[in-house]
Structure 1
Amino acid sequence: MTSMIPAVPNHPPVQFGKVGVLLVNLGTPDGTDKVSMRRYLKEFLMDRRVIEWSRFLWYPILFGIVLNTRPAKVGKAYETIWNKDLDESYLRTYTRNQSDLMAKAFADLPNVRVDWAMRYGQPSIRSKIDELQKDGCEKILLFPLYPQYAAATTATVNDEAFKALLKMRWQPALRTVPRYHDDPVYIDALANSITSHLATLDWEPEVVLTSFHGIPKSYFMKGDPYHCQCHKTARLLRERLGWSKEKLQVTFQSRFGPEEWLQPYTDKTVEKLAQEGIKRIAVINPGFVSDCLETLEEMAVEANEIFHHAGGEKFAHIPCLNDSADGMRVLEHVVRRELQGWV
């Protein structure tokens, strides 16, 4: 039961006794204009977990070149997939919807409060942890929305949350959700999304690519488990569908900078398949909980164009789980599992 400590003079009542659940996704710019894009990219690309280069090497490139050229280019890409009705990115739309639906799922537990935040941009992790604590959440389950663990995604969310605790006198107890790349509920949801989407087509793909966001190969060589977890997700999905390695293939997208990243690259693979005579393919992004720039523009638009330009004929992008019934079933399953002993 939620409790309240009586207020002392000039001090508001202190809430306690609740449990918070904070869903955290990567982030989103506030708008597609150059100023908003620059602010977002600056926060993102200054993260030492994202770019591990020496600051002496990276900052001249970041502030001298990247932040002067990339905001306009990325802003134009965002404009093509912007949620015009709500004037926001679809990542923000879906993450908020996931939080609202999760709150309804826990309506039977009035002491559980669900909220959402972004690692980069607004609302910030720090502001939401502060809000939850002030609302009486003595315990908070932090849920980085990444099925596969990577230092540049899951770890940086955890870092930011613990930095927030450094500023707090009354710290809530904090749990972090581990990777769930091989959870049967997650694998089933992915399989269902593939079969249901393919059922809407009047053609069958010869190849289905599972395109994961890439990381520099050097991060993998330093011990990051991301590459292995992506391949395990694909293997389990392949087994669940009863498909061969040729039918369901693993690729990596969104490389940035001069370094070698995890291979095979999605764009190069799409082009190669078409050149080899493959006429029909589909692409799914199992590592993304919500559709975003990397799925709606980079895959559904750019990869589609590359495939057709190289001789392909039929291309389909399978949406992320988003706020679908299957998608929410996965998120609720993980949250209820990780809240055991707290509720």
Structure 2
Amino acid sequence: MEVENRFITIKASIDGFPQLSDFEVKTETLSLSFGVGNKQVVLVKNLYVSIDPYQLNRMKSQSSSQTVLSFASPIIPGEAIDTYGVGRVVESDKPDFQKGDLVVGLLSWGEYTIVKEGTILNKLDPMGLPLPHHVGTLGVSGLTAYGGFFEVCKPKKGETVFVSAASGSVGCLVGQYAKLFGCYVVGCAGSQKKVDFLKEELGFDDAFNYKEETDLKSALKRYFPGGIDIYFDNVGGEMLEAAVANMNTFGRVAVCGVISEYTGNGKRAAPNMLDVLYKSITIQGFLVRNYMKLYTDFFSTTMEHLQTGKMKAPTDISWGLESVPSAFIGLFLGDNVGKKIVQIADE
């Protein structure tokens, strides 16, 4: 079986702020090979695909992340860009997957994906929840939030928690986990609409618009007069510097992302290392792959929270393959509320 596949790619490496002109739609013919020794095992029609800021590091001509991890390897101009997503099997050379099966795993920014042997792909039972939930809240974003908060931050009930980029795909989940655990949670975001969303929809104890603050250290002192026990960092730069200045002794910082530095336009800043030393503060970077062992606990806990209404799964969905570049660029403009997803085709 052959299918015409349209996919999004980059024209050349991107070393600054991404522009629509950096991307293009290309077309190829895909057909699944069969037989002994075949490494192309499943042809999938993509339904929902994830849009993530870390992809920009893969698009650069050089980034330290490209040399450390296989899933962060450089994106080659002209080739399809892989990403997490949900799709439906069109054809299979593997008995585990049958035509029509819903699947979740590593797909692509395209209409179809040929999934090779060894690539992450699992049959999906939606369990009564919308398919986009399995891309974000029950997918990589959710496990990142769960592992980062419970394993890196090691929370105690009653502790104070600060979450930056709190209306983003990971931050909005961290705040909810922290509240359900019994912590006092404050988030920051880039608009009053997002601030209201955090407090009124997600149950944050408080939130503020960082763009309206002229002094981040003073702002955090105002929101945390007793100091910060846990900082879940999605931003880096000046926000990290300000948070560490307000940390309590034995405070923990989970470095999940540094979106302020991805485009190269953000002001570089670093925490006061005397604070880190004399307050015995722990600062730890982490990746979702570090906590795959938690997947079963994460999935069952989060599924229960969603089914009982204790947690919400904020999603920001665009329609159509052509919307992928603008959706991606929008991440760096702060356009999204919750997990950014593009729906490629009807379910």
TM value normalised by structure 1: 0.35
TM value normalised by structure 2: 0.35
Q: Which has the higher strand share?
A: 2
Q: Which has the higher helix share?
A: 1
